[in-house]
Amino acid sequence: MQFNVSQLLREPIGSRRVYQVDEPFQPDPAAAQSVRLSGPVELLRIDRGVLARAEFVSQGAAECARCLRPVSFPVALAIEDEFVPSVDPVTGAALPAPDEPGVFSIDAQHILDLTEPVRQAWQLAQPMAPLCREDCPGLCPQCGADRATGACTCPTEPVDARWAALAGLRQRNGATNETAKEE
């Protein structure tokens, strides 16, 4: 997602360009998998450079955190980042780097590259624990059987002796609550 902004940098503050993007994007450079991003990109000339705004939609893929089945989910990215030129668009002279961190640069050929801001937004938009469905029972911790396809034959876990007193209290409270309901 690269845009040549040499002409935009020569225009007055407030000038803008709007582009419609629909192209593949590789969220992880180490992985060969890519996704398709689509949505509008607005480039607005500001006093220090260009303000890039984008709203992309895509489809993410992961494994369910409980049963490890493939999961597909919608991803919406909202990007608003400032880009400053590294060279003057009129004279070609090198400009000083910005003092504050987090500001992206427009390269010497006046190319504004949205790849890094989009990659960062993509990482933030991913769910921490994607689920195939809200009530996914997951895998049995002992045998690894998928509990969604049926119950496994593993014995129930024995109660830790340190918690046995609480288990007894729970049983007594259950009996007390049943007696109270009957009265």
In this predicted structure, what is the pLDDT of residue 100? 83
Instruction: Please tell me the total count of domains within the chain.
Output: 1
- Percentage of the chain surpassing pLDDT 70? 93
Decide if pLDDT at 182 tops 70: no
pLDDT digits (tens, 9 = 90+) for 144-174: 888 888 888 887 766 677 877 787 787 777 6
Give domain status of residue 71, yes or no. yes
Among 50-54, 69-73, 166-170, the range scoring the smallest mean pLDDT is 166-170
Q: Over range 2-29, report the average pLDDT.
A: 93
The Cβ-side half-sphere exposure at 132, using a 13 Å CA radius, reads 15
Residue 17 burial (CB count, 10 A): 15
The structure's pTM equals: 0.74
Give domain status of residue 7, yes or no. yes
Q: How far apart are CA 114 and CA 100, in angstroms?
A: 19
Structural domain of 43 = 2-125
